[in-house]
Amino acid sequence: MKHKVLIIIGDATETVDTMYPYFRLIEGGYEPVIAAPEKREYQMVMHQVKPGWTITKEWEGYTMPADIAFKDIKPEEYLGILYSGGRAPEYIREDEDLLRITRYYFANNAPIASVCHGVEIPARAGCVKGRRMATVPKCQFDLEVCGGIFVNEPCVIDGNLISGRTFWDNGHYIGPWMKLLDEAREQLNV
């Protein structure tokens, strides 16, 4: 039996923030489950600050179908969760079911990963107070106003919470998160 792991997305989710962990989960023997506000196809984007620019440039990325809507998620059926980045978190962070799910994973010390703007969801859920996290620097305020501690590093480990700043950090923070998932899976299989 493959253990299921949630990846949280919405329209304008960052492509690399989403697809890299998706394929790593498959490689690790997990079943990645794409969760979103509705069960439908979502348009992802690619973000990068171009040379000479002071703001982020956005291009269309791939599309990805959601396997399940937030309202249908029973969090106890999933081993862990990842909050992908891009602009989506800003728009989906008010979803009451997503907040319910988020609070469950923090309360149960489950393996949690967050990258880039993904921090906006646990921050809105009231789960970051006193927690050390990496995020893209322009989300530092979102984290700190909710009581979190901003750390500008490619991988920040705070107990069950693993975070990175942008897709450039995927090779740094996904491995430690996968290790937490492996440990949680082993405990269930004992």
What pLDDT sits at residue 190? 63
Report the pLDDT averaged over residues 16-25: 98
Segments forming the whole domain that contains residue 151 = 4-189
Query: Cα–Cα distance between 178 and 69 in angstroms, integer?
Result: 24
Name residues whose C-beta falls within 8 Å of residue 149's C-beta, 6 or more positions apart in sequence. 130, 131, 132, 133, 143
Model confidence over 40-83: pLDDT tens digits?
A: 999 999 988 888 888 888 889 999 999 999 999 999 999 999 99
What pLDDT was estimated at residue 1?
79
Owner of token pair 């530092």? 140
Instruction: Say what the pLDDT of residue 45 is.
Output: 96
CATH number of the domain enclosing 96:
3.40.50.880
Nearest CA to 42 among 70, 76, 74, 73?
A: 70
SS3 14: strand
What gap in Å lies between CA 184 and CA 2, rounded to an integer? Answer: 13
Confidence at 112, pLDDT banded by 50, 70, 90:
very high
Question: Across the chain, what does the average pLDDT equal?
Answer: 96
Q: For residue 163, which of 115, 129, 128 has the smallest C-alpha distance?
A: 115
Q: What is the reported pTM?
A: 0.96
- The predicted pLDDT at position 63 comes to 97
Neighbours of 82 (CB within 10 A): 28
Please, which pLDDT band fits residue 189 given cuts at 50, 70 and 90? Answer: confident
pLDDT of amino acid 121: 98
145, 110, 108, 109: which is closest to 128 by C-alpha?
145
Write out pLDDT tens, residues 132-178: 999 999 999 999 999 999 999 999 999 999 999 999 999 999 999 99
The rounded percent of the chain whose pLDDT value lies above 90 is: 92
Number of domains present in the structure of the chain: 1
